[in-house]
Chain A
Amino acid sequence: MRHTVDHKTRHLVTMAQDGDESALNQLCKVYWPRVLWIVRLRMGRELRSKLESVDLVQDVLFSALKDIEHFTYQSEGDFLRWLSRIVENRLRGHLHRLHADKRDIRKEVRVNNHRLITEDSFAEALEVVDTITPSAIMSKTEDLARLEKAIEQLKPEYREVIVLTKIEGLSYKEIADRRGKSSEAVRKQLSRALESLISIFENV
């Protein structure tokens, strides 16, 4: 089964790289909800609250997908990570730009007078997705929202280690090397982080 998914993603990526818009469309359909959630889980409330609307997030995804020709396909997970990373970076770039000069925000970006900046913008983006495609992940929306809230309440170092392992897919060794710690220490920290996450998750 994973093989099939991998095969299909690879196929679509190749087609999209050749400029097939409908392939790009499908990639977007399949990966968009995940990218949204991943970015959401990774960015944290503080940054997210600065994002003004769904459109921005969607734009970023589209423009990231336009860079698809620069992506070298290795595995399906790679693609998702590549995509969500690029989306997050762009979002951060946007935020930086927007808040660097407050006066320019209205002029340059958001003029459609949608509701302002809410926490809900991501949720709405997901709602949009919901209407687009019946996706396996959509049935889990409620649980994911709970997970998100739980992660939000974690200590920053716990959140980081969870994101790095569970989403980025890094090994203890890779994290340990980045941090200058031992693999054992990373594993123990993850263990504590997960324990903490479970407790919070139960109560949100």
Chain B
Amino acid sequence: MAKSNSYNQEPALGEAVRQFIGEKLQGREPDIDEFVKQYPELEHQIRRKIRNLQKIDTLFDSLVQVDESDFEDATTGEELVGKVVGSFEIVEMIGRGGMGVVYLARDTKLDRSVAIKSIPSELTDDLTTRMRLSREAKLLASLNHPNIAVIHDIIEQDEGTGYLVLEYVPGETLAERITRGPLKLEEALSIGRQVAEAVSAAHKKGIVHRDLKPSNIKITPDGRVKVLDFGLAKPSSSEGKKRDITAAEPGRVIGTPAYMSPEQARGKETDHRTDIWSFGCIMYQMMAARLPFEAETASDTLAHIIERQPDWEALPQGIPVNIRALLKRCLEKEPDKRLDDITDAAIEISETLSKPETAPPAKLRRIAMIIGAAIIIVGLSGLAQLFTSNEQYPTENAQAYEYYLRGLEYFSRDDTETSLELAIRMYEKAIELDPNFALAYARLSRVHSQMYWFKHDRSYARLALAEKAVRKALELNPGLPEAHHSLGCYYYWGHLDYDRALEQFAIARRSQPDNGQLLSKIAFVYRRQGQMDKAHVTLEKAIELDPLDPGLSHNQGQTLILLRKYPEAEAYFDRAIMGRPDFPAPYSWKAQLYVCWKGSTVQARTVLEEASKYIDAAKDDSILLQSVLFEIFDGNYQKALDILSTGSSEVFETEFLVVPRAQLYAQINGLMGNQQLEQNYYDSTRSLLESRIAEDPNDARFHSKLGIAYAGLGRKEVALLEGNLAVKLLPVTKEAWQGLYPVEDLARIYVMVGQYDDAIDTIEYLLSRPGVLSIPLLRLDPAWAPLRDYPRFKKIIEVGK
């Protein structure tokens, strides 16, 4: 029925509608009420048709005509300026971006500038999100971190609206900085360090940024970095359903996903490691002056993020190896393989920054490049050697291996406590990942032994760690040459047990006859045993095996000084300096060479001046100490005092000796005739050394100097007692090199207390064996001045001429 009815009405209705449309299309606006009167029985249907027509028209209109209200969200802003929100006076609009409008406002209560922005709508959606925002804001504020811009307050207004009161940070964003021009390495590292520290602090509180990018990083005019918008990105996991990546960040309308991690790009769950990825992207961009993943379109960019490797070649040559390695670890696609703790990045970068000059000048760089190329060739064959024999697969765990390699890198970097500690951390991580990683245990042990040897930590606990690690290595792989090598080091460095050390080194050498490092250890043991010539020859062979290690050349130079073969020594120090222009020791010893050899403070000073181009002398104890001594030698006492005042350490400490600063003051004042000051300084030297000895009664270095302090104070008996005790604690028979220093100090004590014959006996003994003391030095050092009129001493000096 209904059907036939509608069928009957259809032609009439169609006619009516056509007529209406026709009139409309001709530009007439028919009156609807009038129009329907023509078809009373169809009024209802016609009205419905017309309503739909109007609806369609409106829909089309709304598509092609933008409504003014559409702009409101985007352009509101100015109208708030001058108004008051809570206790904040809105001063001006300072930004407008994906996250809405940002105003500069005055906090009238606390009289400070703040930034205010409306809470992004997606953060007001639900209660949990709001609670999280507020909790994280509080946590961040409690951190009080210098590199994090905090949320001061959250002003909630009606349902769903509110404002964030943020710390106002003046300055440009890193994005703006990058657009302005390329960053210098130091600048990039400094910014990177501060960002890493900020993120590290937040991560420790469980807060993940999730939208780390240069536009969220501000650089204040004084160079301080502040990371903005912490706690404002919504965690992907909290969203009920998986959404498209474009939805994962509702604030982002236009722009680039360049800093997104692969897991973000895939729309998967994210954790703190997503920040580490973004951090890697930012670091890469600062250094390479381009993005690691960049394509014409966002989807291509995402594809690159997921699939491609960044162009590592695009990083400039000057970027240190460890920083390259760091970037690679940050930009590891698989979160599980990625750097797990951004604190490591902060440490790595600050370590790099604290290294003296990283870039040698052009001439040296060129030489270094040639040497570098050679190292690559030698290095490859060395590597091949490492993986033959029974070390084919040191570990199956790639990440553990990477930590192991980083440990090697730190260990070979320098001898500072920080480098060694970092090396230990790396090996420990390697072992954590692969508890059966014998080679890592072996290496770990060696670093512990070295911590002890270099007197960074003279505790038995340290030695116990060294022993435990090497025993574990041998338990896992009894034939491992590196483990025997390390056990040898443990005996040598830890106990001066030369026989056992040589025994272990010999075992290791059976499998590694071409290992120059291992052979050099044998040479060093000979040197400590006093077999200087044998040491010299052996070390020469080690250098043939490992010609580019500047450390070996440096040591050969030292051996030649001890042998008093000065002209030969010179070339070795030059080689060492060329290889590592940033190492202080070769300069210091080369300077020493010129005073020992020629008594020339002029040449010695030239070497130190050369060093000062690469090294901050005020921070290197041995170089500063030498600068002072050379002035003393030349009688420039005031200048010596001036140089002394530039240093900061209370005690100059080298491997071989400790010299309290006060003792140098005492000595110089004595030479200047300021007796009262001399006495005062000797007395403070005494009390300082007495307390150090109370802590570590077996360190000969302290006893020697305490003897000198007592002698300076006129306390002859105890002076001689301490001087002799030092010699007994480290007898030359046990330590043919380091043991010479207490002996020489004893000679000084003899001079100070007036026992000249004993002094000369001692000097003759020192000159009869390999050692640093030389006739030109005897002439130069005013400590021996009281002997100068003494016939026996005159005779010694004459022989030298």
**Which residues of A are in contact with B by a Cβ distance under 8 Å?**
1-2, 4-5, 8-9, 21-22, 24-26, 28-32, 34, 37-38, 41, 53-56, 58-60, 62-63, 65, 76-77, 80-81, 108-114, 124-125, 127-128, 131-137, 140, 143-144, 147, 166-167, 169, 187-188, 190-192, 194-195, 197-198, 201-202
Contact A112 B59 (CB under 8 A): no
**B307 contacts A by Cβ under 8 Å:** yes
Q: Check A112/B306 contact, CB under 8 A, given A59-B298, A131-B247.
A: yes
Contact B64 A80 (CB under 8 A): yes
Contact for B21 among A34, A41, A54, A191, CB less than 8 A = A191
Contact B17 A195 (CB under 8 A): yes
**B461 contacts A by Cβ under 8 Å:** no
Interface mask (B239-251 → A, CB under 8 Å = 1, otherwise 0): 0000111110011
User: Which residues does chain B contribute within 8 Å of A110, judged by CB atoms?
Assistant: 299, 303
Expressed in whole angstroms, the minimum distance between the Cβ of B6 and any Cβ of chain A is 12
Q: Check A198/B266 contact, CB under 8 A, given A62-B297, A127-B247, A133-B74.
A: no
Expressed in whole angstroms, the minimum distance between the Cβ of B525 and any Cβ of chain A is 59
Contact for A9 among B66, B245, B254, CB less than 8 A = B66
Contact B18 A191 (CB under 8 A): yes
Interface hits, B259-275 → A, CB 8 Å: 265-267
Contact B246 A58 (CB under 8 A): yes
User: Which residues does chain A contribute within 8 Å of B71, judged by CB atoms?
Assistant: 5, 8, 26, 30
Expressed in whole angstroms, the minimum distance between the Cβ of A17 and any Cβ of chain B is 15
Among A1, A25, A63, A197, chain B packs the most CB atoms within 10 A around the CB of A25
User: Which residues does chain A contribute within 8 Å of B286, judged by CB atoms?
Assistant: none
**B48 contacts A by Cβ under 8 Å:** yes
Q: Check A167/B60 contact, CB under 8 A, given A58-B246, A112-B267.
A: yes
A59-B298, A110-B303, A140-B59 known, 14 other contacts, Cβ within 8 Å: A5-B71, A25-B98, A28-B253, A31-B66, A38-B63, A53-B299, A59-B299, A112-B265, A114-B267, A134-B121, A137-B67, A167-B60, A187-B25, A194-B56
Contact A77 B65 (CB under 8 A): yes
A166: nearest residue on chain B (CB-CB)?
A: B60
User: Which residues does chain A contribute within 8 Å of B359, judged by CB atoms?
Assistant: none
User: Which residues does chain A contribute within 8 Å of B247, judged by CB atoms?
Assistant: 124, 127-128, 131
Contact for A5 among B59, B67, B96, B251, CB less than 8 A = B67
Contact B67 A113 (CB under 8 A): no
Contact for A113 among B63, B95, B98, B266, CB less than 8 A = B266
State the CA gap A24–B49 with chains docked (Å): 40
Contact B300 A198 (CB under 8 A): no
Contact B65 A28 (CB under 8 A): no
Contact A134 B60 (CB under 8 A): no
Contact A29 B62 (CB under 8 A): no
Which 10 pairs between the two chains have the least Cβ-Cβ distance? Answer: A59-B297, A26-B74, A136-B67, A55-B299, A166-B60, A111-B303, A131-B250, A22-B96, A30-B70, A191-B21
User: Which residues does chain A contribute within 8 Å of B52, judged by CB atoms?
Assistant: 198, 201-202
Among A24, A41, A53, A58, chain B packs the most CB atoms within 10 A around the CB of A58
A3: nearest residue on chain B (CB-CB)?
A: B68
User: Which residues does chain A contribute within 8 Å of B22, judged by CB atoms?
Assistant: 187-188, 191
State the CA gap A112–B55 with chains docked (Å): 40
Expressed in whole angstroms, the minimum distance between the Cβ of B337 and any Cβ of chain A is 19
Expressed in whole angstroms, the minimum distance between the Cβ of B472 and any Cβ of chain A is 44
> Mind listing 27 A-B residue pairs with CB under 8 Å?
A21-B97, A21-B254, A25-B253, A26-B96, A30-B70, A34-B63, A34-B64, A53-B299, A59-B297, A62-B297, A76-B65, A81-B64, A111-B302, A112-B266, A128-B244, A133-B70, A133-B73, A134-B73, A135-B70, A136-B62, A140-B62, A147-B59, A187-B22, A191-B18, A194-B56, A195-B17, A198-B53
Q: Check A63/B297 contact, CB under 8 A, given A5-B68, A137-B63.
A: yes
**Which residues of B are in contact with A by a Cβ distance under 8 Å?**
14, 17-18, 21-22, 25-26, 48-49, 52-53, 55-57, 59-60, 62-71, 73-75, 95-98, 121-122, 243-247, 250-251, 253-255, 265-267, 296-300, 302-303, 306-307
User: Which residues does chain B contribute within 8 Å of A2, judged by CB atoms?
Assistant: 65
State the CA gap A190–B142 with chains docked (Å): 68
Contact B296 A112 (CB under 8 A): no
State the CA gap A58–B307 with chains docked (Å): 21
User: Which residues does chain B contribute within 8 Å of A32, judged by CB atoms?
Assistant: 253
User: Which residues does chain B contribute within 8 Å of A109, judged by CB atoms?
Assistant: 299-300, 303
A186: nearest residue on chain B (CB-CB)?
A: B25
Contact B306 A111 (CB under 8 A): yes
User: Which residues does chain B contribute within 8 Å of A195, judged by CB atoms?
Assistant: 14, 17-18, 21
State the CA gap A140–B49 with chains docked (Å): 19
User: Which residues does chain A contribute within 8 Å of B14, judged by CB atoms?
Assistant: 195
Q: Check A194/B244 contact, CB under 8 A, given A31-B66, A111-B307, A134-B73.
A: no
State the CA gap A188–B302 with chains docked (Å): 49
State the CA gap A90–B463 with chains docked (Å): 70
Looking at chain A's contact residues, the main secondary structure is: helix
A79: nearest residue on chain B (CB-CB)?
A: B66
A138: nearest residue on chain B (CB-CB)?
A: B70
User: Which residues does chain B contribute within 8 Å of A81, judged by CB atoms?
Assistant: 64
Contact B244 A63 (CB under 8 A): no
Contact for A25 among B243, B254, B302, B307, CB less than 8 A = B254
Contact A63 B296 (CB under 8 A): yes
User: Which residues does chain B contribute within 8 Å of A24, judged by CB atoms?
Assistant: 254
State the CA gap A201–B18 with chains docked (Å): 16
User: Which residues does chain B contribute within 8 Å of A63, judged by CB atoms?
Assistant: 296-297
B125: nearest residue on chain A (CB-CB)?
A: A131
State the CA gap A191–B253 with chains docked (Å): 39
State the CA gap A28–B255 with chains docked (Å): 11
Expressed in whole angstroms, the minimum distance between the Cβ of A127 and any Cβ of chain B is 7
Expressed in whole angstroms, the minimum distance between the Cβ of B220 and any Cβ of chain A is 22
Expressed in whole angstroms, the minimum distance between the Cβ of A99 and any Cβ of chain B is 16
User: Which residues does chain A contribute within 8 Å of B95, judged by CB atoms?
Assistant: 22
User: Which residues does chain B contribute within 8 Å of A31, judged by CB atoms?
Assistant: 66
User: Which residues does chain A contribute within 8 Å of B49, judged by CB atoms?
Assistant: 198, 202
Expressed in whole angstroms, the minimum distance between the Cβ of B270 and any Cβ of chain A is 14
State the CA gap A17–B18 with chains docked (Å): 46
Contact A132 B59 (CB under 8 A): no
Expressed in whole angstroms, the minimum distance between the Cβ of A73 and any Cβ of chain B is 14
User: Which residues does chain B contribute within 8 Å of A58, judged by CB atoms?
Assistant: 246, 298
Expressed in whole angstroms, the minimum distance between the Cβ of B164 and any Cβ of chain A is 18
Contact B75 A26 (CB under 8 A): yes
Contact A187 B296 (CB under 8 A): no
Contact A192 B18 (CB under 8 A): yes
Contact A194 B250 (CB under 8 A): no
Contact B246 A128 (CB under 8 A): yes
State the CA gap A194–B96 with chains docked (Å): 43
Expressed in whole angstroms, the minimum distance between the Cβ of A13 and any Cβ of chain B is 12
User: Which residues does chain B contribute within 8 Å of A4, judged by CB atoms?
Assistant: 68
User: Which residues does chain B contribute within 8 Å of A131, judged by CB atoms?
Assistant: 121-122, 247, 250
Q: Check A194/B53 contact, CB under 8 A, given A55-B299, A58-B298.
A: yes
Contact A56 B246 (CB under 8 A): no
A129: nearest residue on chain B (CB-CB)?
A: B253
User: Which residues does chain B contribute within 8 Å of A147, judged by CB atoms?
Assistant: 56, 59
State the CA gap A111–B230 with chains docked (Å): 30
B55: nearest residue on chain A (CB-CB)?
A: A143
State the CA gap A108–B297 with chains docked (Å): 11
Contact B97 A25 (CB under 8 A): yes
User: Which residues does chain B contribute within 8 Å of A127, judged by CB atoms?
Assistant: 247
Contact B253 A8 (CB under 8 A): no
Q: Check A28/B21 contact, CB under 8 A, given A22-B97, A135-B70.
A: no
Contact for A55 among B64, B65, B302, CB less than 8 A = B302
B97: nearest residue on chain A (CB-CB)?
A: A22
Expressed in whole angstroms, the minimum distance between the Cβ of A181 and any Cβ of chain B is 15
User: Which residues does chain B contribute within 8 Å of A198, judged by CB atoms?
Assistant: 17, 49, 52-53, 56
Among A143, A144, A187, A195, chain B packs the most CB atoms within 10 A around the CB of A195
Contact A132 B303 (CB under 8 A): no
User: Which residues does chain B contribute within 8 Å of A80, judged by CB atoms?
Assistant: 64, 66
Contact for A65 among B70, B254, B266, CB less than 8 A = B254
State the CA gap A194–B97 with chains docked (Å): 42
